[in-house]
Amino acid sequence: MDNKLIVQIRKDIKAYEDKHPYTRNFYRNYTKALMEKLNVYIFNAQDERIKVPMMYANPERAIAKIYEDRNLTLPIISVAIGDIEENTSIRKPDVQLTTYKFFDVETQKAFRIIKQTSKAVALQFQITLWSKYTEDMNQMVEEVQMMFQPSLTLPTEDESENKAFLLDVLDMSSVQAADKQDRMLRKRVTLKVEAYIPGRQYLYSHTGRIKEVINQRLVYK
């Protein structure tokens, strides 16, 4: 595409986005993908293989729920989003718009799609392992560590290859609830995910009409 056309397309897209606000669900998609992959199993005192339950909560919220909800029993795993920063190591070429061909199965027609370049970021997750017994904690740590060889692939709706890496495992067992004396072990696992904030994509007709493409379907507006 020549520069004049690119400038016009950017103007048209800007006008479209001003009229049609968009939620990417970026954090939710990556959190869901990670929680679906972190299937941790241990053997209990009866030598039964059980799946460790998981919840989305920061450590403060997690420890409060553990003590407040008597239906929750240890061990348990909590997941929370940490820091996010630009990831220059996987950044795509400095091109703001790319094009590709798309075949619409409903209309049986081929279209040319314009897509905004995705933003490469490094997204951290804090995985907290909670247990009452050392043996349970050791099993959970081992299970999590063995998932990363050296990385864990996360399938998401936006990109086919997203790698998660284990950065460290720290003992945080000194944290206790103020009004409880129950023994509780806690370890924090920090993960870094090579993620992309997805760019929106559109069918751009020769007349300047824009149709948004979401999950390989045309959205007419």
What string of pLDDT tens digits covers the 221 residues of the chain? 567 777 777 787 778 778 877 666 888 889 999 999 999 999 999 999 999 999 999 999 998 888 888 778 899 999 999 999 888 776 666 557 777 777 777 778 777 788 777 888 999 999 999 999 999 999 999 999 999 999 999 987 655 578 999 999 999 986 454 554 567 899 999 999 998 888 777 877 666 666 666 544 444 33
The pTM for the full model equals 0.77
Query: How much is the pLDDT for 52?
Result: 97
* Closest CA relative to residue 123, chosen from 78, 171, 161, 80: 80
221 part of a folded domain = no
What CATH number is associated with residue 57? 3.30.2000.40
CB 31 within 8 A of CB 54: no
| Other Cβ atoms closer than 10 A to 42 | 20
205 part of a folded domain = no
166 part of a folded domain = yes
Query: How much is the pLDDT for 2?
Result: 65
Query: How much is the pLDDT for 218?
Result: 43
206 part of a folded domain = no
CA separation (Å) from 78 to 131, 188, 197? Answer: 11, 10, 24
CA separation (Å) from 212 to 2, 81, 108, 111, 221? Answer: 22, 29, 17, 12, 8
CB 212 within 8 A of CB 161: no
With residues binned 3-state (H G I as helix, E B as strand, rest as coil), the percentages for the chain, rounded to 5, are 25, 40, 35
What is the distance of C-alpha 156 from the center of its chain? 8
109 part of a folded domain = no
Domain of 187 in residue numbering reads as 3-81+118-192
Domain count, the chain: 1
24 part of a folded domain = yes
What is the distance of C-alpha 187 from the center of its chain? 21
Alpha-carbon span 136 to 155, nearest angstrom: 29
210 part of a folded domain = no
| Other Cβ atoms closer than 10 A to 139 | 20
143: helix, strand or coil: helix
Query: How much is the pLDDT for 91?
Result: 66
Q: For residue 102, what are its two tokens?
A: 């798309």
